[in-house]
Chains A and B, each alone.
Chain A
Amino acid sequence: MLTRLMFAALLLTPTAVLAQAQKPNDAQIAHIAYTAGVLDVTAGRQALAKSTNPDVKAFAGEMVRDHQAVNDKALALVKKLGVTPEDNATSQALIKAAAAKQTELGKLSGAAFDRAYVENEVAYHKTVNGALKDTLIPNSQNAELKSLLQTGLSLFTAHQQHAEHLSMSLAK
């Protein structure tokens, strides 16, 4: 019961969701990183379908392209290493939180959608950056996985900055 309650609470705060993976193994880390990428690709596709703002669409296109690129690399790596990504509570919590956000954004349109999408991108990238820095990179054992996660961190950091700039320009 306590676990269930904690889980429910964690769903409300994305930072805490990722913080729960205290000592994930490489198979779980690969799963979490891959899932985080897939979810941002899905969010980007939703924005490409709904937005008419060229800057928002360009940003969403960048999210789809970059996260697919890093996930393709991740898939090739786990295949090479013979690691089967292992589903885990963190990945599941991320999926549930993203699905809820997708539904919420689905009800918005126009400038309200653009602002909410980009604001969520700022928050999402911040959360994943924190998890990469504090949990996923330090706990990864395989050097190639660690290196790919570091590439992911550079990418997520760049995306976060781009999202922050975009968010400011949309607020004007």
Chain B
Amino acid sequence: MGALLLVWATPHPAEAARYVIEIKDMAFGPAPAQLKVGDVIAWKNSDIFRHTATARPGIFDLDLAPGAQGEVTLTKPGVLNVICRYHPNMTMRLAVEKEN
């Protein structure tokens, strides 16, 4: 029983996942479901225009030339509203849950 409790008390952390969000045709690709703290998002700019993936205030701000890619690790739970600073009509919402 003691051993079992110990197992429950120190759960094995879930493996962090890595997602790719493609930016194309002036839009962010779909938001991954069930994002968790520790997950990594790679932003890939497949557009012919320069874009940013920006979550304010100061959460992350990736400036991506055409063809460029940048990564962020999600460090806090909550809802992130991501915009492109150059094209403010480009928005997406990421819901980040606590780590398991």
Contact = CB atoms under 8 A, between A and B. Distances in A.
B88 A65 contact: no
A158 B48 contact: no
A78 B26 CA distance: 22
Interface on chain B toward A: helix, strand, loop, or mixed SS?
loop
A40 to B, nearest CB: 14
A92 interface: no
Interface in A145-172: 150-151, 154-155, 157-159, 161-162, 165
Nearest to A73: B48
B48 A154 contact: no
A155 B26 CA distance: 7
Interface in B16-65: 25-27, 48-50
Interface of A: 58, 62, 65-66, 69-70, 72-73, 150-151, 154-155, 157-159, 161-162, 165
22 contacts: A65-B49, A65-B86, A66-B49, A66-B50, A66-B86, A69-B49, A69-B50, A69-B66, A70-B48, A70-B49, A72-B48, A73-B48, A151-B25, A154-B26, A154-B27, A157-B26, A157-B89, A158-B26, A161-B88, A162-B87, A162-B88, A162-B89
Interface of B: 25-27, 48-50, 66, 86-90
